[in-house]
Amino acid sequence: MNAHFVADTAALLRRSLRHIARSPDTIITTAIMPIMMMLLFVYVLGGAIRTGAGSYVNYLLPGILVITIASGISYTAFRLFTDMQGGMVERFRSMPISRSSVLWAHVLTSLVANLISLAVVVLVGLAMGFRSGAGPLAWVAVLGILTLLTLALTWVAVVPGLIAKTVDGASAFGYPLIFLPFVSSAFVPTESMPGPVRAFAEHQPVTVIVDVIRRLFTEQPVGGDVWVAVAWCVGILVVAWAVAVRLYRGSVAAPAPA
């Protein structure tokens, strides 16, 4: 990583952040769906759900934070698709800038926007009764896991942003990611699920990530599960980054249409 790459990424990051500042509805829209879901599950369905863990909002919030990230990264695919189709990437190709800085600017923009959305959701959770006795180190650990997850899923979002043929195709990929927490321990304990569903839920990444965050919030030991959660995030990040960079280099190397 050289100074040229850092300077180029910083310049493109400022450009993307200015776009978000001019249209804050991006962050508002990202936060609204998880908040509405939290309101629905806590105040409408929560009374019928037994978790054996005290306040249901305390049990639910970690899963809602994951859904917030899954919802927010769709905008990365949308913004990248817009740049690709609108000729902005072609314009960047004609300038003496680092090629990879274009992708990293989009990824870091997603990170900033999602962290703001996560903060909004946590504030709403506090207003709904969420409480945690976790100390500063536990909160830092939660922030670290959520940051890693955001980076990993954002690189996943870069792929449809590069290969989609329509704006709807670029944005719609996020729906399966939003659905995945429903087949995990995010809303109910996996012990309540039928055999095959439980087996899937207990061996997919959302469950271990949600469980670790929940234990950090409730001051319970996380054991080796924290490293499993980190390994999932890093593994997804590395694979998605490699695929996205390969696709981007291919698209940049391809001749522009006549």
Distance CA 222, CA 243 (A): 32
What is the reported pTM? 0.87
Q: Is 258 among the domain residues?
A: no
In-domain check, residue 126 = yes
Average pLDDT across the chain, whole number: 84
Structural contact between residues 110 and 78, judged by C-beta atoms closer than 8 angstroms? no
Residue 245 in any domain: the answer is yes
Q: Which domain holds residue 20?
A: 3-253
Query: How far is the C-alpha of 20 from the C-alpha of 142, rounded, in Å?
Result: 25
Count: domains in the chain = 1
pLDDT tens digits for range 83-142 = 777 666 666 665 656 667 788 888 998 899 899 999 999 999 999 999 988 899 999 999
**200: CB partners within 8 A, 6+ apart:** 183
Report the distance separating Cα 166 and Cα 161, nearest Å.
9
Is there a domain that residue 133 lies in? yes
- Any domain includes 124: yes
Q: Tell me which H or E stretch contains 27.
A: helix 25-40
Residue 82: both structure tokens together: 């817009």
Q: What are the tens digits of pLDDT across the range 3-19?
A: 667 887 787 788 778 77
